[in-house]
Amino acid sequence: MHCIIFIDVFIEQVNAQLVSLDKNATKCFYYAVLYAAGIVNEFGPEDVRTAACILALPLASSKSRNSSSKDNLYKWLFGSLGACMGVLFAMGLILLYRMRDKRKKQKALHEEYVTGVKARVLPNTGAKWFSLAELEQATKGFPQRNMIGQGGYGVVYRGILSDGTVVAIKQILNLDTKGDDEFVNEVEIISKIKHKNLLSLRGCCVTSDPSRGKRRYFVYDFMPNGSLNDHLFNKKPLSWPQRKNIILDVAKGLAYLHYGIKPAIYHRDIKATNILLDSEMRARLADFGMAKQNMEGQSHLTTRVAGTYGYLAPEYALYGQLTEKSDVYSFGIVILEIMSGRRVLDTTNSSTLLITDWAWTRVKSGNVGEIFDDTIREGGPRGVMERFVLVGILCAHVMVALRPTISDALKMLEGDIDIPKIPDRPLPLSHESFRSSLWYSASMSERSRACSSISSV
């Protein structure tokens, strides 16, 4: 009863205040009733169900609104995440496509390289084309323990083919266009020649891929006794019969190149490291990467000098004049190295004495025996050994016209023809008589330029 009276009084007071604010208002009483109902209902003024009680309208609770807000947030997050993942997936597909396209183009370029190199080799060459897998199997993956030699142009490994044949596999290191030219040149030349004193080429391999790049390989017969250089200068002494046979073997192989095939082939790099020895210590001339065929109608002058300093004929080193006598000069140097056990250049001397100058001074003074290596000085017939030394000096004469052909040199070595009187050699450039002359200065300058051009090969 008191509560009702209180509500009535409260409504009259609220209504009076509202009317005083606007005398023309007609609905202030109802507003006050609704306001009072909101205060005294059973749910309380802060409960959302109050409005439902007064107005009979179902309203969402704060919990429902919070839940709805969270649902919207989750939807936004998942939607954004899905969109990002979609964009990333699309970008990944594009990147994957581009990478695949790039690899495809690279693979095509590498395949084109291999095809191009093979196409440059004449179809009548007898070399077998090995696959890289065959060579890796033969060498057990090219490990360090199977490496039997290394030089400026390649690394040589020992390998065993599937049929049990022991071979030497040479990997070419210089991968430029010049290297390709030398590779093709050697394949073409050595595949055409068959001689017991020339190293046989069993096959080759050209491969290229994006991961390891371009690679070229030669597969040769294996020479178990290494190179002549190993025996002459690495404490593996040779007997006189072995030295004699090696000199004759090299002469026979070189004679075949000059006269046994057409067109003739000039080796251009005859030296101790390019003479290999088989199981019976018989010599085989190797490494035809710089060999040149003597095509008819071509000039004998070349602007590109190839070879090793000390073994090069003077006219070839200085003027690029290439003839069969250029190989004969290098052969003469090798004879003197074999007979004396000395290197072509004596670097212990301040004037860097050439072996030809050193040997000639002893021959001229009548002391030919001083040229012989200590290990053979008492091991062979003196007359025969002197004949070999004289042939070496004659072959390595500075005057082209005074050198014999390789066929005549072979006949002299075998004693079939006499050795002509060896004419005097010009004084070496290191001789003291030239030291104060302008000619000496000009000659040394010319030799320096020649050496520079040779070292750049």
Question: Nearest CA to 396 among 301, 316, 299?
Answer: 316
Give me the CATH code for the 226-438 domain, please: 1.10.510.10
Residue 360 has what DSSP assignment? H
CA–CA separation, 300 vs 307, rounded Å? 16
- CATH 3.40.50.10490 matches 94-222: no
Better-predicted residue by pLDDT, 450 or 330 = 330
Q: Is pLDDT of 441 > 50?
A: no
Residues with Cβ within 8 Å of residue 403, at least 6 apart in sequence? 325, 328, 329, 332, 394, 395, 396, 397
Residue 198 has what DSSP assignment? B
User: What confidence category does residue 451 fall into, taking pLDDT thresholds of 50, 70 and 90?
Assistant: very low
Question: Do the beta carbons of residue 326 and residue 397 sit within 8 Å?
Answer: no
**What amino acid positions are annotated as catalytic residues?**
269
Residues pairing with 206 in the sheet: 216
| Distance, CA of 181 to chain centre | 15
Q: Is pLDDT of 294 > 60?
A: yes
Tokens of 346: 């004596």
271 labelled ligand-binding? no
pLDDT tens track for 163-178: 999 999 999 876 665 6
Residues with Cβ within 8 Å of residue 455, at least 6 apart in sequence? 309
Would the pTM of this model clear 0.85, i.e. be above it? no
Tokens 């390989």 -> residue: 217
Of the given ranges (55-59, 338-342, 386-390, 404-408), which has the lowest mean pLDDT? 55-59
User: What confidence category does residue 64 fall into, taking pLDDT thresholds of 50, 70 and 90?
Assistant: low
Tokens 């019969």 -> residue: 241
